[in-house]
Structure 1
Amino acid sequence: MNVLFLTLARISNIEERGIYTDLIREFVRHGHIMHIVVPAERRFHQSTELQDGGNVKILKVWTFNIQKTNLIEKGIGTLLLEYQYQKAIQKYWKNAKFDLILYSTPPITFNKVIAALKKKDAKTYLLLKDIFPQNAVDLGMFSKDSFLYRMFRKKEERLYQLSGYIGCMSPANVDYVLMHNREVDTCRVEVCPNSIALCRVEEQLYPKEALLQKLNIPTDKLLFVYGGNLGRPQGIDFLIEVLAANEKRNDSFFVIVGSGTEFMKIKLWFDTNAPHNACLLSSLPKQEYDSLVRVCDVGLIFLDRRFTIPNFPSRLLSYLENRMPVLMATDKNTDIGEIARTNGFGLWTESGNIETFMEMVDFMTADRERIKIMGENGYAYLEANYTVEHSYNIIMRHFE
């Protein structure tokens, strides 16, 4: 099949690891020809260009900055995306016949591209990774009475209408979409979770103690690691509250690695308080980051408690792959905590409940053998549910 994949993810090489590149490689492994369209945001100073690698063709389209920028440019850039993508596809792949269009949210503004290609008999599948504009309402970015909400909500409804099938990250996501979009047929909505290609553990760049010493991380404490975006969706205020509470302990250390719009807020807290039980790393080379995660003991997930939509962060996969139990502080609507608890690989509390969260830290520090068992439970669940082979089969059963 000729497959067109539309995304906001930065993809230059499909050999890089990630939920989209891993899935793309799985499609290629099955003999499909992948046409991938990605943004070349203006901050990277690149023009629109096509990289033709035979079975994998990557079309990089010049766009305004869409990520890590101010709301005005992000909004304008998001609205222009469908025109820019459509123009580039028409220029470079005018005569291509696409059998299947895969696309992910964010954004919700690929409607014109999808509608045009559907007229040429392409099948469509939405990978729903983000429920917008409700998530922006939850975080107070605009209200349901605003023009922005009404405009984006219409685009969201149109996107669901154009999608032959909608793959959601979890059962709670399926329920949410069907409850708030009564016109969507239940047979078109299913769980197609975030997934990765399992690979052998790479050789460590450094022995454990050498790596921890290099990063000024103690070797005699249980290491809790958070890796990923540090933005408004993560509820950074509660993360800071957890770090402050952990300063009263002597057996646990928190490693925070990431970047995002709230990074300076958390950095200011570190600069002001100079904690002895936590460190903040803005960025690491990928191999060094992977090595660091492998020598930590417990993974962390934080989400803002105001969310009414059931987010399911993909960083869970990295923790499970490294056989780590997971502590979660999220809103009440996501089912990530219940899935972790039911399957024996994690603990959950609502974000803001500092007493329960620190009890969960107690639970982890009390028994190293328990950590090992929970980590193995998580890896087994990952193998059974969150591999790209699993996601590929879910998608392709509709089109073969």
Structure 2
Amino acid sequence: MKILFLSLVKVNSLSDRGIYTDLLREFVSQGHHVTAVTPVERRDSNSAKIEVEKGFTNLHVRTLNIQKTNFIEKGLGMLLIGRQFLRAINSNLSGEKFDVILYSTPPITLYSTVRKLKHSMNSHTYLLLKDIFPQNAIDMKMMKKDGILHKYFKSIERKLYNISDHIGCMSPANVNFIKEYHKYVSTDKIHVNPNSIEPIIQTISSKDRELIRADYELPLDKSILVYGGNLGIPQGIDFLIEILENVKLENVHYLIVGSGSEYQKLKNWCDQNKSDHVTLLKFLPKEKYDKLLSSCDIGLILLNKNFLIPNFPSRLLSYLEMGLPVLSATDPNTDIGDILEYNKCGKKVLAGDVISFKTALNELLSSSSKYQEYSNNAKKLLLQDYDVVNSVQIIVDRVEQVKFNQNV
């Protein structure tokens, strides 16, 4: 198949690791041709360009700054990006036809681009539903419910779901949410296609583990509970600070790696309290982050307790890949904790419940044999449910089934 991929996540190289690059690389390895259309932000000194290699075309489109910028520029950038993508496609890919247009949320504002391309190319459209906007903005009180903006984006969301032939959701809870709150969507098109990666399962020697910890001045004689990723309002950083204040265990050290709108609040707390049981690091490149992660013991998932939508953070995959048992502290609507407990590779608590958090953490560390069982199960879960090969197969099967039905 010829696949057109649209995303806000810049694809620098097909060899990069991540949920999108791993997916595209697997398509190429199976003999499909992929064309990726992704942004080059205004702040980036590199100009927009097109790169071609065997099985893969990479089209970078010049846009406004849409990440880590002020609200006005980000909003304007989101509204313009669909038009900029379409102009770049018409200029650089004129005459090209694609079997599948593959795209992810955010943003839903790619709707008009997808609609025009679908009609002009007679393509199948496949949505990778990675967030549910604008409801997530309502949950975080970043948008007024039933206000002008909310109604506008709800209208775009409805059109995007309707124009999509297939909607791949991150988990069963996401499928149920769409079915319950978006009854206009045909249930035939909704299915689970989770975040996935190309697994690289590896072991680390005790000596290397010590060397890595020494590089970051981490204790050698304690279990490291690591949180890696965005530090923003959706992660409920106030509860993380509450944990750091109230769950001080002699055998546990907290490692936090990331950036975001709440990073400074966390840094201020660390500076004021001078706590020797916490290490805070800014964002690391993925290769360095994965190496650091391999020396840790437990992965932490955090979600704001006010979420009504069932988020499913992709940072889980890195934890599973390293064989880390996972402790999730989330809202009650996501099913990430249920999946961890069902597969016996983690524990779940509700965000805000410090006592349950402490109990779950102690349980994960109470027995070396139990810990090893959870670690082994973490790797098994990754290979079983979150291997990118499965995600590609789901997409191919869905498209082929529709083609078959149309020809019958």
Whether TM-score is above 0.5 comes out as yes
Shifted more, 357-366 versus 164-173: the winner is 357-366
CA contact (8 A) 1:108 1:155 kept: yes
Shifted more, 155-164 versus 259-268: the winner is 259-268
In structure 1, give the amino acid aligned to 2:345.
F
Which residue in 1 is equivalent to 2:197?
Answer: 196
Which residue in 1 is equivalent to 2:42?
Answer: 42
The offset of 1:366, in angstroms, is 1.7
Q: Secondary structure at the match of 1:299?
A: strand
CA distance in 2 between counterparts of 1:284 and 1:151 reads: 37
The offset of 1:213, in angstroms, is 1.8
Q: Give a deviation string over 1:282-335, Cα, whole Å, max 9, x none.
A: 033433321211111100000000000000000111111111110010111000
The offset of 1:399, in angstroms, is 2.1
CA contact (8 A) 1:324 1:372 kept: no
Runs of 4+ in structure 1 over 6 Å off = none
Q: Secondary structure at the match of 1:207?
A: helix
Which residue in 1 is equivalent to 2:234?
Answer: 233
CA contact (8 A) 2:225 2:300 kept: yes
In structure 1, give the amino acid aligned to 2:118.
K
RMSD between aligned alpha carbons? Answer: 1.5
Q: Secondary structure at the match of 2:109?
A: coil
The offset of 1:208, in angstroms, is 1.6
Q: Secondary structure at the match of 1:110?
A: helix
- Are positions 1:7 and 2:15 aligned together? no
Which residue in 2 is equivalent to 1:246?
Answer: 247
Q: 1:78-227, aligned counterparts within 5 Å?
A: 78-119=78-119, 120-201=121-202, 207-227=208-228
The offset of 1:66, in angstroms, is 1.1
Give structure 2 stretches of 5+ with no counterpart: 401-408
CA distance in 2 between counterparts of 1:341 and 1:399 reads: 33
In structure 2, give the amino acid aligned to 1:323.
G
In structure 1, give the amino acid aligned to 2:239.
F
The offset of 1:202, in angstroms, is 8.2
CA distance in 1 between counterparts of 2:12 and 2:196 reads: 20
CA distance in 1 between counterparts of 2:177 and 2:238 reads: 27
CA distance in 1 between counterparts of 2:148 and 2:71 reads: 15
CA distance in 1 between counterparts of 2:129 and 2:343 reads: 24
CA distance in 1 between counterparts of 2:369 and 2:324 reads: 12
Which residue in 2 is equivalent to 1:399?
Answer: 399
CA contact (8 A) 2:201 2:321 kept: no
In structure 1, give the amino acid aligned to 2:259.
S
Which residue in 2 is equivalent to 1:365?
Answer: 365
CA distance in 2 between counterparts of 1:384 and 1:207 reads: 28
| Change in 2 beyond 3 A, CA 1:307/1:284 | same
Q: Give a deviation string over 1:98-121, Cα, whole Å, max 9, x none.
A: 110000000101112111121121
Q: Secondary structure at the match of 2:153?
A: helix
CA distance in 1 between counterparts of 2:217 and 2:127 reads: 43
In structure 1, give the amino acid aligned to 2:386.
Y
CA distance in 1 between counterparts of 2:110 and 2:304 reads: 27
CA distance in 1 between counterparts of 2:369 and 2:291 reads: 22
Q: Secondary structure at the match of 2:66?
A: coil
Which residue in 1 is equivalent to 2:299?
Answer: 299
CA contact (8 A) 2:4 2:101 kept: yes
Give structure 1 stretches of 5+ with no counterpart: none
In structure 1, give the amino acid aligned to 2:275.
P
Which residue in 2 is equivalent to 1:29?
Answer: 29
CA contact (8 A) 1:50 1:57 kept: yes
Identical-residue share of aligned pairs (%): 45
The offset of 1:19, in angstroms, is 0.5
Which residue in 1 is equivalent to 2:270?
Answer: 270
In structure 2, give the amino acid aligned to 1:224.
L
CA distance in 1 between counterparts of 2:280 and 2:203 reads: 25
CA distance in 1 between counterparts of 2:140 and 2:130 reads: 17
The offset of 1:246, in angstroms, is 2.8
CA distance in 2 between counterparts of 1:210 and 1:151 reads: 53
The offset of 1:214, in angstroms, is 2.0
Q: TM-score, normalised by structure 2?
A: 0.95
Which residue in 2 is equivalent to 1:312?
Answer: 312
In structure 1, give the amino acid aligned to 2:369.
E
CA contact (8 A) 2:3 2:35 kept: yes
Which residue in 2 is equivalent to 1:353?
Answer: 353
CA distance in 2 between counterparts of 1:346 and 1:72 reads: 40
CA contact (8 A) 2:325 2:375 kept: yes
Q: Secondary structure at the match of 1:310?
A: coil
Q: Give a deviation string over 1:219-276, Cα, whole Å, max 9, x none.
A: 10111111111111100000111111233x2110111011111111111111111111
Shifted more, 109-118 versus 294-303: the winner is 109-118
